[in-house]
């Protein structure tokens, strides 16, 4: 009889061991849900254009030798220890504070366009500052000139 009791205990223990399997999660449905969410957000997102500056590039070919009419600002590379380069407005050295009055007092035909010519190491902040002052002074067209390398 003892053997029958031992067999019953063993079968009871065997069923308990079988019942204690750790639960498993199937990853396939979870990955499917993530991909469906990803596709949903990609389709429902609207992309708006980023506002910026309109740039009208010249047509390809040789550069024109005609000197354009308007004001010309040349900005030299800043000297070591200085954050702003020297600015020359139509062959006169000017400071950033007097730039607005120079633009306002310029002849009407000269204020139709501003040409900014800067060297390689000039900070963008200084160029943008000149552009802002020109816009405040009523100059609508701003162009950029470069010096051709030999």
Per residue in 29-38, pLDDT tens?
999 999 999 9
What is the pLDDT, as a whole number, of residue 9? 63
Per residue in 91-100, pLDDT tens?
888 888 888 8
What is the pLDDT, as a whole number, of residue 134? 87
DSSP string, 8-42: HHHHHHHHHHHHTPPP---HHHHHHHHHHHHHHHH
What is the pLDDT, as a whole number, of residue 38? 94
- Residues in the chain with pLDDT values less than 50: none
Does this model's pTM top 0.75? My answer is no
In CATH, the architecture of 71-145 is 2-Layer Sandwich (3.30)
């Amino acid at each position: 009889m003892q053997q029958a009791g031992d067999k019953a205990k063993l079968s009871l223990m065997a069923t308990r061991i079988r019942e204690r399997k750790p639960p498993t999660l199937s990853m396939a449905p979870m990955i499917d849900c993530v991909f469906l969410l990803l596709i949903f957000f990609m389709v429902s997102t609207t992309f708006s254009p980023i506002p910026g500056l309109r740039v009208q590039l010249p047509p390809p070919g040789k550069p024109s030798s005609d000197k354009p009419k308007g004001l010309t600002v040349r900005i030299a590379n800043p000297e070591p220890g200085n954050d702003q380069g020297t600015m020359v407005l139509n062959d006169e050295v000017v400071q950033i504070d007097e730039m607005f009055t120079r633009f306002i007092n310029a002849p009407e035909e000269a204020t139709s366009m501003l040409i900014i010519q800067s060297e390689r190491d000039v900070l963008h902040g200084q160029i943008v500052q000149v552009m802002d002052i020109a816009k405040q002074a009523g100059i609508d067209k701003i162009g950029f000139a470069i010096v051709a390398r030999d």
